[in-house]
Structure 1
Amino acid sequence: MSVAGEDGGRAQQMRQQAQEMEQAAERATDPAERQRLKEKARRLKEQSEQQGSMGSGDIDPMA
C-alpha cells in the first residue's frame, strides 16, 4: 500500500473515532465528561483533516 493510501486510511479511522466520541458525548450525563469528549472529538477531526490533506498532497497554503 502506498504512503498516501495509508494516510488516507488513518485519517478515515480518526474521523470514525471522532464520530464515536461525539456520540458518546451526546449520551454522557456529566457536563464535564461531555465537554471533554466533544473537545477530544474536535481535535481528532482536525488531525484527520490534516492527515487527509497531507496524504493526498493537496495542501492549500491559503487554508
Structure 2
Amino acid sequence: MSVAGETGGRAQQMRQKAQEMEQAAERVNDPQERQRLKDKAQRLRQQSEQESSMGGGGSRDIDPMM
C-alpha cells in the first residue's frame, strides 16, 4: 500500500472514531463527560483533516533541504 493510501486509511479511521465518540457523548448523562467526549471527537476530526491535507505523518519525515 502506498503512503497516501495508508494516510487516507488512518484519517478515515480517525474520523470514524470521532463519530463513535460523538454518538457515545449523546448517550452519556453526565454533562462534563459529554463535553469531554465531544471535545476529544473534535480534536480527532481536526487531526484527521490535517493528516489528509498534509499527506500524513510520512511527509514530516522528508528533509526539505534534499
Would you say same fold, with TM above 0.5?
yes
Q: Give the whole-Å Cα distance in 2 for the aligned partners of 1:54 and 1:9.
A: 14
Identity %: 79
| Residues matched between the structures, number | 56
Give unpaired runs (5+ residues) of structure 2: 57-66
3-state SS in 2 of match to 1:29: coil
Superposition TM-score, scaled by structure 2 size = 0.81
Superposition TM-score, scaled by structure 1 size = 0.85
Give unpaired runs (5+ residues) of structure 1: 57-63
Matches within 5 A, 1:1-63: 1-55=1-55
Structure of greater Rg: 2
Question: Which consecutive aligned stretches of 4+ in structure 1 deviate over 2 angstroms post-superposition?
Answer: none
